[in-house]
Structure 1
Amino acid sequence: MGVIAPISFLRRLDSLKATSALALGAVVYLIFIVIYYYANPTQPLPSKDEIQLINFTPQFLTTLPIFVFAFTCHQNIFSVYNELSDNGQSMLNRIITSSIGSAVVVYHIIGILGYLTFGKTTGSNIIQMYSPTLLVTIGRIAIVILVLFSFPLQCHPCRACLDKVLFAVGEYWKSTRFGKNAAYNSLTAHDTEDDHVHPHTPTGTADHGGSNTEISEFKYVAMTTGILIASYIIAISVKELEIVLSFVGSTGSTAVSFILPGSFYYKLHKNDPWTKRKILSVCLMIYGWLIMVVCLTANIRRVIKG
């Protein structure tokens, strides 16, 4: 908490450049460990008969949400967009492509080589499966660094969304007490002034992160502190990270990655003719709901059965 808390209170994503660079360095080191121990195994590698290219089991439904979670970075896209000095569409496309592309490469290297090293015995935390050498010990420290410095990147959009939710709840309460018209006008003003994404705006003048530029210092500190405390309680209460990632992937990540993008596109083009993109947006939304219902059910059954 002593490391996470100070950097979680930073208002801009570009203030996290140094910590993010360290986290990326930790990822590179973890890749090195996986490659090194595949090339220089400390135990016999599994035979070719043990390696299965395709192995579909019911456990797939509890593992799929982890993959969804692994590629979910949508929650930060608006803050990134607003803080870019060149936030044209081509630049944004390059950033998205390079981010997702590099993630694909990293996941494939660690996943494939880890499986080829341990076979069916591969666990959810592959670093724990290696012999406790100096290289592996440093690798475990690298995981700690990676998790520590990834948290502020998630705290930033969480705080912004919490601000919007609290504002909406406050306006709803005002509407029931003082009249709907005044609350509606206030809500509209908040959305147009604070939530607007300014295209082609220099970083120095951009409205980064929505209402974070207008929020009072007390509210900002209170929300951040609340997020930190809630996260800490969850962290010390959960014994298996895999279960947490499965539930988060089944709910939040699925909604952010599939359901909401499809819903937003359909809503924006509701009165337009049915085009290929409109059809695909509906399919994406339906696919997201299926993933959420099926995978969440599988994870709940898994927890109940123990």
Structure 2
Amino acid sequence: MIVPLCLMKKIDSLKYASVVALSAIVYICVLIYGYFIVALFTDYKNIPAEKLGDISYFKPQGIKPVFKTLGVIVLAYTCPTQFSIVSELENPTMKRICSITYVSMSITAFIFLSVSYAGYLTFGNTLTGNILLMYGNNFYTQTGRALLVLMVILSFPLMFHPARVSFNNIYHVFSEKLNNKSEPEEEGQARMNETSPLIGSHEPDSALLEFSQQMVTMEHEVDVPMSSQRFYILSAVLLAASYSGALLLNSFELILSIVGATGGVLISFVLPGFYGYKLIASDDDVTKRRLETCSPEEADNGLFTSPLLKKISLFLIVWGLIVMLICLYSILFE
């Protein structure tokens, strides 16, 4: 099932698989809610005594377990990114973007917190990484486990597609440098002449000229090419590497923790902090002109001009790197 889905060239082709995966998530959430409610009304008689543990409402089990779990939480909040939604908005004002962020994150946080609390209050400190393995064998739990497998199968191509594109982009950059396929000097000079003022009685502003050149370059940008041969080679290599990793590792929680502590932290903390520090309250004339050109109504928005947000962005970079190191240490050296 995974191979043909991963060989689809457009991620839009996976929209029906996404609906099935979301349905599986809904069933698993309802299953966890249901077991918790039944446990409350039956005084936990539906849970075997050996699987019932102590419940700690305030005191954690230790520093390492906290940071080990933090990697999973970061990964959970990494998945519902806003970039694709923002890029498809017809009128992407900051007010609309913030509204979408607040609503979507509130719904996501409610689902994550309610499911995690329901699972923890059902089993206590004996809870393992995969809660579905804690329940007894019956039709409902077996269905939930089957749907979890189906969800992973159908979600894998959704992550495989951007991964393949990223590897292709990396390959393209290195091949361009190795083959010295840089823009000829004559063509670059011609493009500069196209952006120069018609009246040349005075020297043009260098920042304005650089900005004009960048805007022309942006207009001529195209997607990084991916030939059919490279498409299938990259797909085969990535699928083989993924399958080998799946055979060698047997802890689902370990994988989620490591991915969350590395890629999740980078995407959620480090890169947003870097972009914020680079772009917010920027002194660069080219950046200011680009903002004013692309979004003149939002150019004076406090989110783009606040020195405090710029400092917070720097703190976010440092915080993300510290969290990454501590999480990896807690995961790999239990």
TM-score range, shorter chain: 0.7 to 0.9
Q: Distance in 2 between matches of 1:160 and 1:33?
A: 36
Aligned to 2:176: 171
Matched-pair contact (CA < 8 Å) for 1:81–1:87: no
Identity of aligned residues (%): 29
1:22 maps to which residue? 20
**Which amino acid letter does the alignment assign opposite residue 9 of structure 1?**
L
Per the alignment, residue 157 of structure 1 pairs with 162
Q: Distance in 1 between matches of 2:75 and 2:322?
A: 16
Q: Which residue of 2 aligns with 1:297?
A: 329
SS in 2 for 1:118: helix
The TM-score with structure 1 as length reference comes to 0.79
Counterpart-to-counterpart distance in 2, 1:228 and 1:106:
31
Aligned residues: 275
**Structure 2 contact 53–126 (Cα < 8 Å) conserved:** no
Match of 1:261 in 2: 272
Closer/same/farther in 2, CA of residues 181 and 65 from structure 1, 3 Å limit = farther
Q: Does 1:67 align with 2:73?
A: yes
Report what 1:271 is aligned to: 283
Given the alignment of the two structures, is residue 243 of structure 1 paired with residue 254 of structure 2, yes or no? yes
Counterpart in 2 of 1:133? 138
Which amino acid in the other structure matches residue 259 of structure 2? V
The Cα of 1:55 is off from its aligned counterpart by 2.6
CA shift in 2, pair 1:216/1:79, >3 Å? farther
Q: Which amino acid aligns with 1:280?
A: I
* 2:70 aligned partner, one-letter code: L
Q: Is the 8 A contact 2:53 2:123 kept in 1?
A: no
Deviation at 1:23, TM superposition (A): 0.8
Cα deviation, residue 88, structure 1: 2.8
AA aligned to 2:19 is A
Closer, same or farther in 2 for the Cα pair 1:247/1:27, shift >3 Å?
Answer: same
Secondary structure (helix, strand or coil) at the match of 1:40 reads helix
* Amino acid aligned to 1:36: G
Does structure 2 conserve the Cα–Cα contact (< 8 Å) formed by 1:45 and 1:116?
no
**TM-score w.r.t. length of structure 2:** 0.72
Q: Between 265-274 and 284-293, report the one with greater CA deviation.
A: 265-274
Q: Evaluate the alpha carbon distance shift between residue 49 and residue 220 of structure 1 in structure 2; reply closer, same or farther with a 3 A threshold.
A: closer
Q: What residue in structure 1 maps to residue 117 of structure 2?
A: 112
Which range moves more in the overlay, 214-223 or 113-122?
Answer: 214-223
- 1:203: which partner in 2? none
Name stretches of at least 5 consecutive residues in structure 1 with no aligned partner.
Answer: 197-206
Matched, 1:102 2:100: no
Query: 1:45–1:118: 8 Å Cα contact kept in structure 2?
Result: no
Return closer, same or farther for 1:229/1:156 CA change in 2, 3 Å cut-off: same
**For residues 107 and 22 of structure 1, do their structure 2 counterparts lie closer, same or farther at Cα, with a shift above 3 Å needed?**
same
Q: For residues 195-206 of structure 1, what are the structure 2 equivalents within 5 Å?
A: none
Q: 1:49 to 1:227 in 2, by over 3 A?
A: closer
AA paired with 1:275? P
| C-alpha contact 1:31 1:109 (8 A) present in aligned 2 | no
Is the alpha carbon distance of 1:193 and 1:163 closer, same or farther for their aligned partners in structure 2, counting shifts above 3 Å? farther
Task: Please tell me whether the aligned partners of residues 274 and 313 of structure 2 are also in contact (alpha carbons under 8 angstroms).
Answer: yes
**In 1: Cα distance, 2:240 partner to 2:26 partner:** 30
Contact kept in structure 2, 1:38 and 1:113, CA below 8 Å? yes
Q: Bigger shift: 86-95 or 17-26?
A: 86-95
- Describe how 1:41-80 pairs up with structure 2 within 5 A: 41=39, 42-43=46-47, 50-56=54-60, 57-58=62-63, 59-73=65-79, 78-79=83-84
